[in-house]
Amino acid sequence: MKTIQAYRFALDLSRGQERAVLAHVGAARVAHNWALAQVKAVMDQRTAERSYGVPDEQLTPSLSWSLAGLRKTWNAAKPEVAPWWAEVSKEAFNTGLDALARGLKNWSDSRKGRRAGRPVGFPRFKSRRRTTPSVRFTTGAIRVEPDRMHVVLPRLGRLKLHESARKLARRVDNGTARIMCATVRGEGGRWHVSFTVEVERAECIPARPDTVVGVDVGIKHLAVLSTGELVPNPRHLVAARQRMLSLGRSLSRKSGPDRRTGRRPSKRWERAAARLGRAHARVANVRRDGLHKLTTRLATTHGTIVVEDLNVAGMMRNRRLARHIADAGFAEIRRQLAYKTSWNGGRLLTADRWYPSSKTCSGCGAVKTKLALSEREYECEACGLVMDRDRNAALNLAALAAEFDTAGSGSVAARGADQKTHARGQVAVKREPGTASAGKTGTVPPQGGTTDRALTKAR
């Protein structure tokens, strides 16, 4: 099975190498901002000409928004715009132009209704201080050295790694991996190189392929499994909050930049900002490490995993829970499970967003009309079952796998339950794209009741 996979390694750059990387990052920013200024100038000129009644055929010729068109325009103007262009790799300019081409396409598709999700705004100019520095290399010498502690990138030369790249090197030497591109990115005071690799993965089978596990994510516990396991929520951001507040107060006392007067930040402000950035990066790293360990264990152990399609964006509107929801990483758990189940031969089923997993009794199937967020114990009025509400929801999710198999792959896909689930409605269970047997959608009989909840499973 061929798949696209990324390998990310920390770099140990010398002063000269860091200056070279920053030069490439600056070149990408210059190309992006110059091309964006050209696009805006042409758009404004055409708008003004239309307001004067100029016919469409006599308007100023429009500028191509494709990467090829932007690159052609840049190559014609770069001797005047950037006379130092030969000092950096052409991939640096290509990085900025490619980002602009993608941004313009996303904005256009969003306006025309061809792009799902939230509206996308018009691309903005990149700032040297507020933009995450990165540059991508797609051509030239891109390889891992035989000692596996150095990599070679175009124009940057031989760069030392902070850790061994033996996992990637072994695949490349065996012919089961092909490096497609490399991206150098600065984040949290460190530089990393990420290799996008086409990997030939061997067929894998989970340790227990016949088992089904329902995963109910939350705030009190990061995940409650239908097996009864409670995965604690480490709350990394809460643990580091006191230090971040202290670093933020220290930063506010320094002389920072002022765009209105053109004042540059002091050295002490830059050092304080770097300390705060490293603190945030550490929180993100330990959170990512914990989520990877959890999702890898689930994907390599169970053959079928059932999760919920949570409205995380809607849950984040609750000002009391937004920080805790963001710290838990609900969307990241589902994203990682989606590709890890396909890698390990399992399948990921996603319950409909309005499926009443918390309100449904896992014993008799009765559905409560209301279930307050403060009710941590589920008490069934029909059969008298008393159980932790998260464990009850996880059991209901696990039961959906059997109902999906009963419905069969040939059934017609329903639109799923809506906010007011009726007794004869249907609850959709869909396979996550990219998982085993993807593309099949089954419908399962409803449990009845209503699911009118302001926050989807926010706990």
Active-site amino acid positions: 216, 308, 390
Distance (Å, whole) CA 259 – CA 243: 28
Strands 221-225 and 347-351: unpaired
Q: What's the token pair of residue 199?
A: 């990997």
Q: What's the token pair of residue 331?
A: 């969307």
Distance (Å, whole) CA 32 – CA 135: 12
Q: What's the token pair of residue 275?
A: 């300390």
Exposure string (b/e) for 69-91, b if CB count within 10 Å is 16 or more? ebbebbeeebeeebeebeebbbb
Distance (Å, whole) CA 333 – CA 290: 10
Residue with tokens 């390889």: 143
Give backbone dihedrals phi and psi of 161, rounded to 5 degrees, phi first.
Answer: -90, 150
Question: Which residues lie closer than 8 Å to 151 by C-beta, 6 or more apart?
Answer: 9, 142, 143, 144, 145, 158, 159, 161, 165, 182, 193
